[in-house]
Amino acid sequence: MIEFGLVTSIALIVSTTALFLAVYRLFVGPTIMDRVAALDSIGMTLVVIFAIYAFSQQSSFLIDIAILLALISFIGTLALAKYIDKGEVF
């Protein structure tokens, strides 16, 4: 049987690797849309990291933070995409 701590550690390592790859794309991305996609990916990866850590620590407070971060990341991505498309947010 696989140990619970081992599975969460592997999941955190894989998620952190994905986070670093997205940060690389954010800084190197050739177009602005690549950078927006990388920023959205960073936000969602952080949500996953918070959720995995909250699950391993059995903390409902960290789940609340993950949900709030997901909401802010989603709204920010929409606002940024609209700004790139039309030149204004509102």
How much is the pTM? 0.85
Q: What are the pLDDT digits (tens) for 57-86?
A: 888 898 999 999 999 999 998 898 888 888
The pLDDT assigned to 84 comes to 87
The mean of the pLDDT values for the chain is 90
The pLDDT assigned to 86 comes to 87
Ordered by where they begin, the domains of the chain are 4-86 (1.10.287)
Q: What are the pLDDT digits (tens) for 22-45?
A: 999 999 989 988 999 999 999 999
DSSP-derived secondary structure for 32-79 = HHHHHHHHHHHHHHHHHHHHHHHHHHT-HHHHHHHHHHHHHHHHHHHH
The pLDDT assigned to 1 comes to 59
